[in-house]
Structure 1
């Protein structure tokens, strides 16, 4: 009986949320996802202060308007490790030598930030925000409900891209 009451309460709260989302300034939570297209490690990233671990997968949550409107932007910050496999040559894990090597390695982490416009979505079809990390420290964002790799997903760049010798300005 207790399970039925809990499911009913959850269902009613869902109905309430849907019923309240008709105003143009309403916000809703969505997943925040990273897709790393580079050979570097994305240690972490944040979007408008919502912080997540980088590299792939999704994290809850980011607040987005329920309806797209012109001028929607996000501020993205991220940390890159350009040599994510350096630890293979370090002293054994847990030793002072390992901790010293790790501290020295962290000094080489690079930090980036950018402000991006959120592409238009139709109606209430936003499925959270996916941040795609590309070579030359560029990013693309999408709210597409189609997963990366789907022909319907707007981001087409492959994964495991090597950095070019020169990045365009």
Structure 2
């Protein structure tokens, strides 16, 4: 009987502990789904694909979705991974010579470059989606701005069609 009472008491204490942790201030802050979009600022380079914290993005329109905290907090980061086609493989041969086409395709895929970077997400009052800006020298800027690229209030001012410099600074 003592063992049964002890087990019930222990079970009750465990339940109270579990229930109270969900109400503690350290519980995760509310988040909302936001679109992911990208803008390539580099002329002569194609961004084939990219992800933000594992969620896929798009350079044409918006992709859904990434979870962003409703309230910005310091230390909020985005892990960006992307693949670039430096356009060094040349034009494809015709399909009539299938072996040459397959060799070209293999060369094309081998020329793709993969990059990754972790960047701070700048302060926002309201998360209106996350836009990733691909800049020369494999640099990236992100914003959760509600304004569109080119609007005076938009925080990223770099122009489109920027040239890749002859050499990039070493980080």
TM-score by length of 1: 0.78
Distance apart, 1:56 and its partner CA? 4.0
Give the secondary structure class of the aligned counterpart of 2:105. helix
**Gapped regions of structure 1 (runs ≥ 5):** 1-22
Among residues 49, 54, 78, which one is paired with 1:49 in the alignment? 54
> Counterpart in 2 of 1:32?
36
Distance apart, 1:58 and its partner CA? 1.6
RMSD of aligned residue pairs (Cα, Å):
1.8
1:120 and 1:24, CA in 2 relative to 1: closer, same or farther beyond 3 A? farther
Matches within 5 A, 1:135-150: 135-150=136-151
CA distance, structure 2, for counterparts of residue 74 and residue 104 of structure 1: 31
1:26 and 1:93, CA in 2 relative to 1: closer, same or farther beyond 3 A? farther
1:139 and 1:97, CA in 2 relative to 1: closer, same or farther beyond 3 A? same
Distance apart, 1:96 and its partner CA? 3.5
> Counterpart in 2 of 1:113?
116
Among residues 103, 113, 118, which one is paired with 2:106 in the alignment? 103
Count of aligned positions: 142
CA distance, structure 2, for counterparts of residue 24 and residue 70 of structure 1: 14
CA distance, structure 2, for counterparts of residue 57 and residue 114 of structure 1: 23
Give the secondary structure class of the aligned counterpart of 2:116. strand
Give the secondary structure class of the aligned counterpart of 1:132. strand
Distance apart, 1:57 and its partner CA? 2.6
Distance apart, 1:126 and its partner CA? 1.2
CA distance, structure 2, for counterparts of residue 46 and residue 93 of structure 1: 32
CA distance, structure 2, for counterparts of residue 116 and residue 25 of structure 1: 21
Distance apart, 1:52 and its partner CA? 2.7
Q: Mark the structure with the bigger radius of gyration.
A: 2
> Counterpart in 1 of 2:78?
74
CA distance, structure 2, for counterparts of residue 56 and residue 113 of structure 1: 20
